[in-house]
Structure 1
Amino acid sequence: MSSPEDLADKFGELPDEVMAELQNMLRLYNIDAEELFFKWEEYCLKMGEDIKLNMKNITAFKDDAREQFEIEMRAKSKAAQAPAARGAQRTAKNAGDVFNMLDGLTPATPRSSGPSAAKRKFERAGYETPLAERTSKLAVGSSPVGPGSVFRTPGTAATSLPFRNRTDPGKVMEVLNPYIKLPQLPLPGYEGYQSRVKCIVNVKTINFQYKPMYQQLTKASEYFDDLIDEYADTIGDEHEIPAEDFCNPCSKLPEEVVVVGRIVTDVMDSQKRSNEASLLLEASRGGGAGKRVRLDLTALKGYAFFPGMLVAFKATNPTGDKLIVNSILDPPTYFEACSSVAQLEDEVQKLSSGNLNVFIAAGPYTTDDNLDFEGLIELVDKIVETEPDVVFLSGPFIDTEHPKVKLGDFPVDMDNFSGYVLEDLFKQKITSQLNRITKSMIMLVPSTRDAVSKHVAFPQDRFQKKLLGLQPNVQLLTNPSMLAINEIQFGISTTDILFHLNMQEVKATGKKVEMNTFHRLANYVVSSSHFYPLFPAPEASQVGYTTPLDVPRLRLCEFPDNVKPDVLILPSNLPGTAKVVNDVVTVNPGFLSTKRTAGTYAFLTILPPSSVLEENGGQPAPDGLRRKVHQRARVEIRRI
């Protein structure tokens, strides 16, 4: 171990307490003074400034060094385990190919050597797809997973629990507004959704028919630039701040001023989460030449940020190198749309026989070890039995991440082959079940992981109805989508924004920070008036799959006219739940099937707006009446 003189030679004269901390690090990590000095320089470069080596900074340096050390140890641990597994496969007796993918057709395999054996093999195989016992060695999870399970090695997939052996089928996991009485379904005299439901889609679907994978960097940068400028205008109107009072956050600001920008992070390693030290504020080109400045958040008693978040601060920047944030300005307030008295009376008439009833479910719809879609079959059985007005089904339906789909391990009906393998699989497994539903309106929303979607980027175009053989009561929606069912505004997106935000969020608990995770994450979506306010999306190494974003088209993810929906549906890998967030009924139904077992879905019932009309007393309302759906809606999260 290096002596104090070696440390002084590298770091110069230091206070005794700082020198003692450096010596502790030498002992802890078993390194010399020179290597520790290199780590200190690396830390200074990462922070983007020349930092004095005092007790405050040495503490942050120690935390960073410990985190780096843990990452290195995990990497070494994986490297130490991997060679043994690979070596066993290479040295296995009579193994002629990796993972036995050629099934013994190589010359090194004795049982298939010679023309006759190869001939028998090809005659037996024909056009059959890879066998389950071979492909399971390569299988990876289809459901979104956390970082810990992404690196599972081949052959370690856990077996799924048979659907018939699932735990607590039908159990109600959570209830929102339990004081609302649950209706008896089917409703008496219910003949179908046609007389009770009127649907209007509030997005221009033609705008979603763009060419994906054709992004221009200039268009992407203009999008972010415009977002910051528009947010500055909105904040100015909200807090009555003149435009000339907004300052460039990257310039020297000795006095407290108001600055606006976008939160970004300089963490480059996908395995490393953003932290307080990695946050920067990016200004627009008009407001700060597009530059970035590091944030000092020590004066805040609590905060919660994520990359891509638009913010307005009261702050100072004495040196021009670091923005010292003193307070955060509240985001703009968006209001829910209102309805006229006549419109609400018309809805009461439509729902004279009972509540508006909605089923909500999200894919995947089958576990990783099969394509039987038992969860979907069970859900359709319940829908046929109870006859709700509307059914929301969101993708993925045929999941590109499902092991059997990735490897083509499913039979093909050559007698009814249309030329489209995956679309035929959809018709066989999904369409056949949806055709059983005749008295409910079905809303299908695609996912970027849907194998039958011609559109690979988010925001995403609709499915092709004719190609999938869907019946007239199926309404195809874009991803995301806003629509009105009667007078109730619904918003839905299948991109798992809640899980992604949870992975990228940087927060410190405090007075103004919401403690409930789901409420806080959902409020990011509602308060930003955007279905996907996060940027960039997490990498596959973080969440188990990629989320391709077409940045210039993210305008399509904004709430129309910045009006909040009454019901917001955000399917997520997080546990299913329902909460009232900023007066919006926010529902995460969970996934109908997880990787190994059955999952959850949601049931929503909404009272007719009679109470809203009674409170108004029949008086005319020029500006319309608030629908107060969050007071009229009961949501149950149920196990399938």
Structure 2
Amino acid sequence: MEEEIKAEFTRSGYILDDEEEICKQCLTFCIQYMLSPSDLVSSWDVYSLNRGLELMVQTAHMGAFLQQLQNEQRDKVIARESSLHMYSNDVAMLLNDEDEDVKDGILDTPTDKSARATEELFDSAQKMRGSLFASGKHLESVTPFGQRKNKFVVQSTLNEHPNIQTIKEEHDHANSEDDIIKRVQPNKRCSLLINKSHPKPGCRFMYDRIEDKFNFLENCINNHATTFVSSGRYEEIMDPSIASQKSVFSVGMICCEEEGRLKEKPILLQSSVEHSGGQRVRLDLQKLNQFSIFPGQVVGIEGHNPSGHCLIASKIVDCVPLSVSLNDNLPPGKKQAMDKDLHSIVPSQESRELSLIVAAGPFTTTDNLLFEPLSELLAYAQRKQPQLLVLLGPFIDSDHPEIKKGSVHLTFDEMFHLQILGKLQDYVEYMGSTARVILMPSVRDANHDFVFPQPAFDIQPIDFNYQIHSVSNPGIFSANEVKVACCTVDILKQLSAEEISRNPQGGSKQRMTNLANHILKQRSFYPLYPPAEEVPLDFSLAWEALHISSVPDILILPSDLAHFVKILSIEGESEEPVKCICVNPGKLARGEGGGFFVEINYKENPDLASASVIQI
């Protein structure tokens, strides 16, 4: 039968790059799905046309080809039993234009014809991939995620976003026969430069000493003090603990006398060892009509200390002067360009333009491990064709009920490679060489190091033709010269729990904007100290990784708080404001239902950019 399969491919004009391996796999497909060699080659013809492949049959496509065969068997079963309905975790099915659910429009209720597969097909697919559930749970009906009525609903927008359309609208103007052989339109490949990726995979962590913590805090205070002085707008830094009737300018860190929130304990200012021997002094803010402070915040204070026991503040400076760059002590050699052929692929661009989709985990609902939300996100991205897809962890969520119960037969690494990297590889193969994906881990990833800052996933770009990359958490990268900064720790929520503020009558009450501004003003991805209990902060790694040397164009801070896309404006004294797009994409999966993601089209500067928060 292998000879017949080889003869059929040759008769149709195809060339096999590895005859023995391809014939062996195709023989398995024929036996499993009871296909003749001619039927198998006919199915390959459809697969090849859909993806615009050459006449060379490669072993790399056998996995995606198997998925198409499963879809064809699904359609045959649907024709016999139209009442069966199951939501598949198959990316190829979602990208297939023949899918009835997509033809009916994404805003419609799933119909009987859009049934995904039978329990029999689910069993066979699980045998091929390995069972995910020890309990042998099968999906006998559509999942709660699949029962939702509305898909890809725009929740909020930044500026105007005319490109957000439903998949239904696209199909209303398309010919169903042409859709079968529709090919992805070519798009420009974006340049990519990883500016910051610390720590490195395999680094030693959680061995930090008291000395490391001391050096980290001292460096934070001293660098801010140096920057204030270098700007030329402030006097010499003085010791705030010395009694003086004259007004002085001091720099220190906001802290509590004991553990607890600021509002519950006296507010203290801890100066550096250089200026005060690390002494703390009580801080009186009664004369200020506006402030916003939290533990760990490094600020400049103008005031006087008449008794030597309490510094009475007349002014708080919480923003580092934008005209002066903080010294991050990172030599240029530590910046990595992960594209060795960067300039040959993407020529120098006249303007900074970038289209990207941003989504944060978890990527599967709590009732299963099928990663249905991720599949639908990739289907949406396949139609919108963004230059960059940014996915933030957790990917294999350690808080997922099935993982907590230990009812998974695969290892966490196997799940990651099967459910995440496998789907992404299918996505980039379908989209072509222009598609690019960035992955960032989370401390909740069960298959990765539990430390913050967190090294990148150990993914070799060459294995994915330099299309799938991983950056550290937090991390900074540039795409088409648009600087993007990301951090998966929920710093917004943790700052919200610790911050206290006072606003004048009729003042701004945009709390989310104020919280995000703290990140840029402090030039740190995690300015909170002491850290939250759930954050495994390693101070020996923190200084290089957490520091933000300059304001990025796009700041991505996934959080459990309300999703948003806002333009932040950082204003310094006598300085032009610097603007930045801040994004909280929300969570892609929320409980048993869908969540949110963000689509951004950046052009030149934040004012010209457009973005939308979309409910999946």
Give your verdict on TM over 0.5.
yes
Match of 1:586 among 582, 586, 593: 582
Counterpart residue type for residue 278 of structure 1: P
Contact 1:578–1:637 (8 Å) recurs in 2: yes
What residue number does 1:263 align with?
254
What residue number does 1:380 align with?
378
Quick one: structure 1 residues 254 and 132, their matched pair in 2 at CA, closer, same or farther if it must change by over 3 Å?
Answer: farther
Quick one: structure 1 residues 570 and 204, their matched pair in 2 at CA, closer, same or farther if it must change by over 3 Å?
Answer: closer
Find the aligned partners of 1:484 and 1:347 in 2 and give their Cα distance. 14
1:330-479 alignment to 2 at 5 Å? Answer: 331-334=319-322, 348=349, 356-412=354-410, 421-438=411-428, 439=431, 440-453=435-448, 455-465=449-459, 472-479=466-473
What residue number does 2:4 align with?
none
What residue number does 1:286 align with?
274
Residue 215 in structure 1 maps to residue 208 in structure 2: yes
TM-superposed CA distance for 1:633, in Å, is 1.2
State the Cα deviation string for residues 12-64 of structure 1 (Å, max 9, x = none).
xxxxxxxxxxxxxxxxxxxxxxxxxxxxxxxxxxxxxxxxxxxxxxxxxxxxx
State the Cα deviation string for residues 421-474 of structure 1 (Å, max 9, x = none).
111111232223212212320000011111111x32111111122699866411
1:319-338 alignment to 2 at 5 Å? Answer: 319-329=307-317, 331-334=319-322
Q: Secondary structure at the match of 1:250?
A: coil
TM-superposed CA distance for 1:335, in Å, is 6.1
TM-superposed CA distance for 1:552, in Å, is 3.0
What residue number does 1:595 align with?
591
Query: TM-score by structure 1 length?
Result: 0.63
State the Cα deviation string for residues 395-416 of structure 1 (Å, max 9, x = none).
000011222212211234xxxx
1:95-174 alignment to 2 at 5 Å? Answer: 162-166=144-148, 168-174=150-156
TM-superposed CA distance for 1:551, in Å, is 1.6
Segments of structure 2 that go 5 or more residues without pairing to the other structure are 1-130, 171-181, 326-342, 570-578
Q: Secondary structure at the match of 1:632?
A: strand
What residue number does 2:601 align with?
605
Match of 1:303 among 288, 291, 301: 291
Match of 1:252 among 243, 246, 264: 243
Quick one: structure 1 residues 295 and 166, their matched pair in 2 at CA, closer, same or farther if it must change by over 3 Å?
Answer: farther
What residue number does 2:332 align with?
none
Find the aligned partners of 1:259 and 1:466 in 2 and give their Cα distance. 48
What residue number does 1:117 align with?
none
What residue number does 1:182 align with?
163
State the Cα deviation string for residues 353-378 of structure 1 (Å, max 9, x = none).
xx632110000112223212111111
Find the aligned partners of 1:488 and 1:128 in 2 and give their Cα distance. 40
Contact 1:336–1:563 (8 Å) recurs in 2: no
Q: Secondary structure at the match of 2:494?
A: helix
State the Cα deviation string for residues 565-606 of structure 1 (Å, max 9, x = none).
111111111111111102001111111012342110000112
TM-superposed CA distance for 1:490, in Å, is 0.9
Find the aligned partners of 2:132 and 2:505 in 1 and give their Cα distance. 62
What residue number does 1:230 align with?
223
Find the aligned partners of 1:307 and 1:360 in 2 and give their Cα distance. 30
The two structures, once aligned, show a CA RMSD in angstroms of 3.3
What residue number does 2:262 align with?
274
Find the aligned partners of 1:348 and 1:467 in 2 and give their Cα distance. 24
Match of 2:483 among 480, 489, 512: 489
Find the aligned partners of 2:324 and 2:559 in 1 and give their Cα distance. 24
Quick one: structure 1 residues 433 and 358, their matched pair in 2 at CA, closer, same or farther if it must change by over 3 Å?
Answer: same
Contact 2:453–2:546 (8 Å) recurs in 1: no
TM-superposed CA distance for 1:346, in Å, is 5.7
State the Cα deviation string for residues 71-104 of structure 1 (Å, max 9, x = none).
xxxxxxxxxxxxxxxxxxxxxxxxxxxxxxxxxx
Find the aligned partners of 1:311 and 1:403 in 2 and give their Cα distance. 42
Match of 1:556 among 533, 544, 564: 544
What residue number does 2:18 align with?
none
Quick one: structure 1 residues 207 and 462, their matched pair in 2 at CA, closer, same or farther if it must change by over 3 Å?
Answer: closer
Find the aligned partners of 1:468 and 1:450 in 2 and give their Cα distance. 24
Counterpart residue type for residue 633 of structure 1: A
Q: Secondary structure at the match of 2:407?
A: coil
Query: TM-score by structure 2 length?
Result: 0.65
1:532-551 alignment to 2 at 5 Å? Answer: 532-539=526-533, 546-551=534-539
Q: Secondary structure at the match of 1:591?
A: coil
TM-superposed CA distance for 1:336, in Å, is 11
Find the aligned partners of 1:192 and 1:445 in 2 and give their Cα distance. 27
Find the aligned partners of 1:386 and 1:601 in 2 and give their Cα distance. 14
Counterpart residue type for residue 240 of structure 1: R
Residue 313 in structure 1 maps to residue 295 in structure 2: no
Find the aligned partners of 2:600 and 2:379 in 1 and give their Cα distance. 17
State the Cα deviation string for residues 309-352 of structure 1 (Å, max 9, x = none).
00111122222222221211352232699xxxx9xx9655699x
Contact 1:435–1:471 (8 Å) recurs in 2: no
TM-superposed CA distance for 1:191, in Å, is 5.1
Find the aligned partners of 2:370 and 2:347 in 1 and give their Cα distance. 43
Q: Secondary structure at the match of 2:262?
A: coil
Contact 1:431–1:470 (8 Å) recurs in 2: no
Find the aligned partners of 2:514 and 2:453 in 1 and give their Cα distance. 23
Contact 1:365–1:592 (8 Å) recurs in 2: yes
Counterpart residue type for residue 595 of structure 1: G
Find the aligned partners of 1:606 and 1:263 in 2 and give their Cα distance. 36
Contact 1:185–1:387 (8 Å) recurs in 2: no
Counterpart residue type for residue 597 of structure 1: G
Find the aligned partners of 1:169 and 1:329 in 2 and give their Cα distance. 46
Segments of structure 1 that go 5 or more residues without pairing to the other structure are 1-126, 134-159, 413-420, 540-545, 610-628
Counterpart residue type for residue 285 of structure 1: V
Quick one: structure 1 residues 161 and 318, their matched pair in 2 at CA, closer, same or farther if it must change by over 3 Å?
Answer: farther
Find the aligned partners of 2:466 and 2:281 in 1 and give their Cα distance. 54
TM-superposed CA distance for 1:207, in Å, is 5.2
Contact 2:231–2:323 (8 Å) recurs in 1: no
What residue number does 1:630 align with?
606
Quick one: structure 1 residues 410 and 303, their matched pair in 2 at CA, closer, same or farther if it must change by over 3 Å?
Answer: same
Counterpart residue type for residue 482 of structure 1: I
Counterpart residue type for residue 371 of structure 2: F
